Amino acid sequence: RAASPYASHAVASVWEEHGWTGHAKGTTMMVAAMIDKFGSPELKEQVLKPILAGETVCSLGYSEPGSGSDVFAAQTKATPDGNGWRIDGTKMFTSGANLADYVIMLCRTNPDVAKHKGLTMFILPLKAEGITVQPVHTFQDERTNITFYDGVKVPDTWRLGEVDGGVKTMSAALELEHRGGGFSKAHHAMIKAAEVLAREIQFEGRPLIEDRGAQGRLARARAHVAISEMLGLRALWGAEEQQNLPAAGPMAKLFSSEKFLEDGSDLLDLTAPLSLSKREGAALFVNQSYRHAHGTTIYAGTSEVHRSMIAERALGLPRSRG
């Protein structure tokens, strides 16, 4: 909890070793940073404190059925209601909402102005009356959710930032999300599982691992992990030391997710048919990693959106998104 971002990054290898997911930690710490920056004293007392005590987790309610990449097109309504607000709408892909206590929400508070202008952010307790969480099962075996908000009441003190100032608040949230991080740990774990299979599979009368071609494919994947690690560290360092590297996070995320997927496909092929059998252990792990890798190129901003960000921030090309 009091660990520096560097220490937190370093400990990720231990999490990988134990097979723990870092998802809840990542989303919760993003919400914590947002409350710290924009939250009222009440919100800090009631939500930030338990987060920092490690007692609660949070999820992200940005995407909707009609808006994902174009997050500022959110339609979930927040209307003034007494001393607070009433929330109505639907959020898509609210991952972890079935386990979390709170969700950070991007809502429309003014439908009569340009889409970027009438947005406001809130924190909602997921146990509040009027919230329904329904599972959405993905082909990567990751459960996410669709969440419905039907007349949910929230006090004004649970607002983050200014009314209709959601662009500023959300931009800060996206900045945190686009800091990189990457998927090198999951990628590395997949290679280790593929290596186990390559020792078991026989190819031309000897273990596949002894084949030069197989060695090359495993080594290439391992080299990608090393580059992902370096890009992730560079993004972390750039953000922590305020080095003005605005494309470093997107570069880390783009490279890491795309290479995870590319190597996932290659190692699934290398270790087939075992990798297709879904046999418990290494075979299932390679198979599951390949499916997991697809999601990494979509959530926290798709690869296309990240390419756009790199083009704008590092190459100075004109903005292509609305």
* Binding region for ligand FAD (CB under 6 A): 59-63, 68-69, 93-95, 138, 142, 144, 295, 298-299, 301-302, 304-305, 308, 321
- The CA-atom distances, in angstroms, between 92 and each of 158, 171, 231 are 21, 19, 30
Residue 266 or residue 304: which is nearer to ligand FAD going by CB?
Answer: 304
Tokens of 153: 């009441």
Block residue for tokens 């404190």: 49
Which positions ≥6 away from 32 have C-beta within 8 Å? 48, 51, 52, 58
CB of 142 to ligand FAD, least distance (A): 5
CB of 139 to ligand FAD, least distance (A): 10
Tokens of 306: 């990240």
**Looking at beta carbons, which residue is closest to ligand FAD?**
68
- Give CA 115 to chain center in angstroms: 24
Residue 146 or residue 190: which is nearer to ligand FAD going by CB?
Answer: 146
CB of 57 to ligand FAD, least distance (A): 12
- Strand extents, DSSP E, the chain: 58-61, 77-81, 84-92, 102-108, 119-125, 131-137, 143-155, 159-160, 202-203, 206-207
CB of 309 to ligand FAD, least distance (A): 10
Which positions ≥6 away from 252 have C-beta within 8 Å? 180, 181, 182, 228, 231, 232, 234, 235
CB of 214 to ligand FAD, least distance (A): 31
CB of 195 to ligand FAD, least distance (A): 27
Beta bridge partners of 86: 79, 153
Residue 250 or residue 270: which is nearer to ligand FAD going by CB?
Answer: 250
Residue 28 or residue 95: which is nearer to ligand FAD going by CB?
Answer: 95
The DSSP element (H or E) to which 286 belongs, if any, is: helix 282-296
Residue 81 or residue 312: which is nearer to ligand FAD going by CB?
Answer: 312
CB of 74 to ligand FAD, least distance (A): 10
Q: 91: closest CA among 126, 48, 140, 118? A: 126
Residue 61 or residue 181: which is nearer to ligand FAD going by CB?
Answer: 61
Residue 63 or residue 271: which is nearer to ligand FAD going by CB?
Answer: 63
Tokens of 234: 């560079």
- What residue type is assigned to position 290 of the chain? Y
